Structures are given as C-alpha cells and as structure tokens.
Structure 1
Amino acid sequence: MDLKGKKVVITGADGFIGSYLTEKLIEIGADVTALVQYNSFNSWGNIDDFSEDKKNATKVVSGNVRDYDSMRRLIKGSEVVFHLASLIAIPYSYDSPMAYVKTNVEGTTNVLEACREWGVEKIIHTSTSETYGTALYVPIDEKHPMQAQSPYSAAKIAADMMAESFYRSFNLPVATIRPFNTYGPRQSARAVIPTIMSQVIAGKEEIKLGALSPLRDFNYVKDTAEAFIKIAESDKTIGEVINAASNSEISIGDLANKIFKISGRDIKIICDEERIRPEKSEVNRLFGDNKKILELTDWKPNYSLDQGLEETYRWIEKNMNRFKVDIYNK
C-alpha cells in the first residue's frame, strides 16, 4: 500500500510516538487527520511543537476514543487508521485500573467497530511488549505467551484480543504492532530514560530510580514510527502481530551509567520504594525478536542506543521546563 494521498486517521496523535508518526505521514504526503484528547486548554500536546507547515498540513480533531459516536464521525471517509490512543503509565494503572479498561479496551473496540462500519482498508493497532510479561525465553518472539503482570498490560492484552477477534470474525484488515521500549525527544518523565536524564540535567548528585536489574529492549522513537509505516505499507501484515524490537537488551542500571557518561559526572543512584513495582508485577526481562518484521517488511532500526541517548539528552537539556524533577511522575 502506498500511503501517499491516502486519507489517514491517527488516534493518539498528540502523544509521544503518535506525534512522530503524524510528522512522518505528512512527509510521505498522506492526508492526515489527527485525533487529540479533548481538553479545555485547547492543547494539541506534541503537535504544538510542529513547524507551522506541518501544523497546517494536519487536520486536528479533539475527542476521546471512549466515545463511539465521535469515533464514528472521525473515521468516516478514512482509508487507513493508526490506533495509538491509550493510557500507558504502569504505576497509575495500579491506582485506577478501570480507567485503563475504559480507554484501552472499550476505546479500542470503538475504533475497530467504526473501522468495520466504514470499510477502512487497513488498521494498525498498537500493542506493547508489556503484554509478554517477564520473558519465559529470549529473544521474545510473537508466539511467546502473554502474561498480565499489571492492570495496564491486562488491558492491552484484552485490546489485542479484540483486534484479533475483529480480524477473525469480520475479516477486518487489522495488523498489530507490538513495540518494545520506545524512547526519544518529547517523551514524558513517566518513562525511565527521561526520568534519569531530567534529574541529571537538573544537577542532582543523587537520582531516584526503581529497580535497577530489569533488562529492556530500547528503540529510538523515529525507528518505531518507521515500523508503523512499514507495517501499514506491507500487504503481508494483515492479521499478524509484529514485534518492533532492536533485538538487544540492557539493564536499567547499565542504562543509567551510559547516561551519566554523557553528562560527564559521577552520580549516585537511590532506590526509591515508591518507584518499585509490586514483586509479582515487575517485568524482569524484555528482549525482543525482530525476525518477523524483517521478513514481512523492509524495516530495520537505524539508530544505535548511544546515538538515540545522545539526541534525547540534548533535547531534554533544551526543554527542562517540561519536567518536574522533584515529583515522581507516574
């Protein structure tokens, strides 16, 4: 599928990954409608940081995936839908699990049902590597069992199953992308890399983190956005679940030391009990197998971890007004 000229809807376009995907689609020449979450400040999230020409090329619609009627209006006439809107913070899912069901499960069902009603040509549904839970074997391929180790991951598993059911029940042309840990400029401090970097750049001699031993597979956000594009373009991806992974891993402790090296400072880490997940909820290892995406598309990661960390660090240096380093961002 050639996305140039296609009428494309992106839910969650104001978010971290969604904003990069929106920019990429504009560059390709797609006709983009971007759903942002309604708020009384008329904020478009990360779209507010776009250049004026990209803002002008984007039709921005405020709404909420929880509302079926607004999804029906939004998706009418579209040809391709990228569904990224989701509640994503794991710690907050312990406080408000029902909110995750309403947004991630009911919201996804609303999007799928609207796509079915209007005969959308292709839907890219966004999953997460958290659905796998702690690795039972590595590298984790798409056949790995799913394990609900947090209310967030449970809601995403349910959303994935709804996407699969619409493919099997109604022949809806859905492909599911399962990104591993994405990072980069614009990411909030609810994620570990900006949490570390913002504390370091603020001049902290001691930084607060949760567990240091978990292993993660990190992907630079521009690589993740490109994976969305490649999965949408490929005719081989319908009905498939596809990892977007770097096929490598690093511990949180070693990651912090890499960031300290960029800063040129020696910094002490303090384990903050508030930031540690419940024992059975902690995902100890995520190391993704990316063979399937390499076979079905011509995607490959272009950024090394060192390159991505350097770019992210420099962006956070220039945008420290976005970070409240003395407050734990769930």
Structure 2
Amino acid sequence: MKNILVTGADGFIGSHLTEALVRDGYHVRAFTLYNSFNSWGWLDRCDPKILKEVDVFCGDVRDFNGVKTAMNGCDAVLHLAALIAIPFSYHSPATYIDTNITGTLNIVQAAKDLNIEKIVHTSTSEVYGSAMFVPITEEHPLQGQSPYSASKIGADQIALSFFRSFDTPIAVIRPFNTYGPRQSARAVIPTIITQLANGADRIKLGSLTPTRDFNYISDTVNGFIKIMESKNSIGEIINVGSGFEISIGDTANLIAECMGVKVKIETDSQRLRPENSEVDRLMADRSKAKLLLGWTPEYGSLEGFKKGLCETIEWFKEPINLTAYKSHIYNI
C-alpha cells in the first residue's frame, strides 16, 4: 500500500498521523473539513517540507460524492474524521449521528465500490462506558453513556457489518485517551496545562475521581500504522492504550509538579457530566495489540506518562502555540 487517505487529517491525531506516514515514505491524501477560510487545521502548523508532500482534499465525510472522489486511487484509508467532544454531544446529538455514523457509512460504502485494500476505522474507549472489569479487553460490553459514545458504537458496527457482509477489509482501532501536542482544550490535559501556563494558581475542572488510560500521541500513531500494515488486523477490533490508569485529580497534580507550580483545583459544575453519563474508570488491556501487531507503548507506566506530559507541556508553553487556546473559557 502506497497511497493513503487520512480523513480528519486536520485534527489532533490526524495531523500527527499524516506527518508520520509521509516520513515513512507513503503518499498521503489528507481529507480536511471544507471551510471558507481555507484552513487546514493543524496541518497548517506542520513542517512545510512535509506538508509540501501532502495532497490536501477539502470536503465533508457526510457527502458521499466527495468521499468517493477523495478515495479514488488510494490503497488504504485511515478514517479518523468525527465529532468527538462529549459535552457538545449533549447539546447537538443529531450532528454526531450524521457525522460519525453516516460519515462512516460513506467511507465503507465507497471502499466496497472502489475495492480499497484496507480501511482502518477509528473507535474510542468511550464505547466501553464505565469499566465492568479491568483491564478492559475488546470483549467488554459496549455502553452508550453519552450521545457521542452511542454514535461511535453505531459507527463501529456499520464498519464491521461491511466486513461481515461484503468481506470489505476493515480493521477497527480503539484508542484510549490520547494526549500530546495540538490536542484540543476540550480534553482535560490541555485544559490543565493551558490554565497553568497562563499563570492561574486555581484551575477549574469537572470530576476529579474518574480514572483514565492516557496514551501519548506517538504511541497512538504507531498503533494506527501497525494496524494498517498488518493482515492480522482485518476484521478485528484492537485496543491501543498504555495499560496504566490514573485519576483526573492525580493527573492535575502531576502536571503541576512537572511545571514546577502549586495549584488549587476548583470544581466547575458546568464541566461535570450527568451522573449516569460519567465514565468512572478506563484501563486498557493491550495484549491483543501485542499479539497481533507486536505493538507496545513507549510511554506506558507512570514514568512514561511523566515523560509524555513533559513533552506536551513544552509544546504548549511555546507562545505561538499557547495563544491558539482560550484557557479562560470552558471549551465544550
């Protein structure tokens, strides 16, 4: 496979993945969301030498004609385009169904029509809901605890149905909580870092007790590429996570320690999820990824998490990066 389409290439993970694929010698077509500003999202901040090698296609995954046109001539598709903010899914659930489910249907339908060699569909650990057991294997029951997670469950099943019905070569990657440079401030780690980097000694967060399995961006990107390149992944759902869990409160304190500051945490009621919607615990079982792909995280464990946080903090502290974030408001 030489010609790769990355949908959602303008986003956090997608932009890093696009860069990594170019460095690995692939020809990349980057599918970005059309807008009148001609913005390519985070691709605009990529190394110009790398961006020069990328074929940028502006469109919308909800449009089948655009999706099929973008996929024409590609060997593989890495499908990341989605709406992902959980709080906004409470406000506008229909947009999540349209983008995440219909968008995925467009991808797999076009893949079937064009005989694409490999589709990697992006899931999320949110589909598991609060852990019934840990570590969470791929066989864990699915629980739609937010409109977002429900839409991703639907998208996953649409993708897998094409594998089962038409032998479309589809693999599902299920990343746990990816973090790193360029992540949106709707996520907790950038929320903490940007508030502290702007001089706050009191930061506003939601619930502090839930635990998360944070996976550094380079480990997630490596998981995508290994799944794309492996024949063992076809028809499979594969967790990509660190296998290490930490609470939100402890994460905030660890970030403050890495930044050399003291911090007091205030609970902001608008940042709290509804009680039955909150995912209380996430921790990945990554044994399947190791068995099928030989994938293991470089940033797993507490020490790896500290290392990843330090690298993330250094990126956010750069003035040109920090000014792109509005730390004084709640980003839903």
TM-score range, shorter chain: over 0.9
Aligned residue in 1 for 2:10: 14
Off by >4 Å, runs of 4+ in structure 1: none
Question: What is the Cα deviation at residue 14 of structure 1?
Answer: 0.6
Query: For residues 232 and 221 of structure 1, what CA distance do their matches in structure 2 show?
Result: 17
State which of 217, 229, 253 in structure 1 corresponds to 2:249: 253
Query: For residues 218 and 271 of structure 2, what CA distance do their matches in structure 1 show?
Result: 28
Question: What is the Cα deviation at residue 191 of structure 1?
Answer: 0.3
Residue ranges of structure 2 left out of the alignment (5+ in a row): none
Residue ranges of structure 1 left out of the alignment (5+ in a row): none
**Secondary structure class of the residue paired with 2:298:** coil
Query: For residues 259 and 19 of structure 1, what CA distance do their matches in structure 2 show?
Result: 24
After TM superposition, the structure 1 = structure 2 runs for residues 51-70 of structure 1, keeping only pairs within 5 Å, are 51-70=47-66
Query: For residues 185 and 87 of structure 1, what CA distance do their matches in structure 2 show?
Result: 19
State which of 266, 269, 287 in structure 1 corresponds to 2:265: 269
After TM superposition, the structure 1 = structure 2 runs for residues 215-230 of structure 1, keeping only pairs within 5 Å, are 215-230=211-226
Is 1:85–2:87 an aligned residue pair? Answer: no
Aligned residue in 1 for 2:120: 124
Aligned residue in 2 for 1:181: 177
Question: What is the Cα deviation at residue 299 of structure 1?
Answer: 1.5
Question: What is the Cα deviation at residue 192 of structure 1?
Answer: 0.2
Query: For residues 205 and 217 of structure 1, what CA distance do their matches in structure 2 show?
Result: 26
Is 1:289–2:291 an aligned residue pair? Answer: no
Query: For residues 201 and 30 of structure 1, what CA distance do their matches in structure 2 show?
Result: 37
Question: What is the Cα deviation at residue 143 of structure 1?
Answer: 0.2
**Secondary structure class of the residue paired with 2:156:** helix
Aligned residue in 1 for 2:143: 147
Question: What is the Cα deviation at residue 322 of structure 1?
Answer: 1.0
Question: What is the Cα deviation at residue 266 of structure 1?
Answer: 1.3
Q: Which amino acid aligns with 2:23?
A: E
Instruction: Write the deviation string for residues 148-204 of structure 1: whole angstroms up to 9, x where unpaired.
Output: 000000000000000110000010000000000000000010000000000011111
> TM-score normalised to the size of structure 2?
0.97
Query: For residues 91 and 53 of structure 2, what CA distance do their matches in structure 1 show?
Result: 38
Instruction: Write the deviation string for residues 259-309 of structure 1: whole angstroms up to 9, x where unpaired.
Output: 110121211100000000000000000001000000001211112101110
Query: For residues 300 and 247 of structure 1, what CA distance do their matches in structure 2 show?
Result: 10
Is 1:307–2:307 an aligned residue pair? Answer: yes
Question: What is the Cα deviation at residue 253 of structure 1?
Answer: 0.4
Q: Which amino acid aligns with 1:88?
A: I
**Secondary structure class of the residue paired with 2:203:** strand
Query: For residues 72 and 234 of structure 1, what CA distance do their matches in structure 2 show?
Result: 24
Aligned residue in 1 for 2:23: 27
> TM-score normalised to the size of structure 1?
0.98
**Secondary structure class of the residue paired with 1:91:** helix
Q: CA RMSD in A?
A: 0.6
Question: What is the Cα deviation at residue 123 of structure 1?
Answer: 0.4
Aligned residue in 2 for 1:279: 275
Q: Which amino acid aligns with 2:290?
A: L
Question: What is the Cα deviation at residue 76 of structure 1?
Answer: 1.1
Is 1:201–2:203 an aligned residue pair? Answer: no
Q: Which amino acid aligns with 1:14?
A: D
**Secondary structure class of the residue paired with 2:154:** helix
Q: Which amino acid aligns with 1:43?
A: S
Query: For residues 156 and 234 of structure 1, what CA distance do their matches in structure 2 show?
Result: 23
State which of 310, 322, 325 in structure 2 corresponds to 1:320: 322
Which range is displaced more, 9-18 or 46-55? 46-55
After TM superposition, the structure 1 = structure 2 runs for residues 43-54 of structure 1, keeping only pairs within 5 Å, are 43-54=39-50
Aligned residue in 1 for 2:230: 234
**Secondary structure class of the residue paired with 1:163:** helix
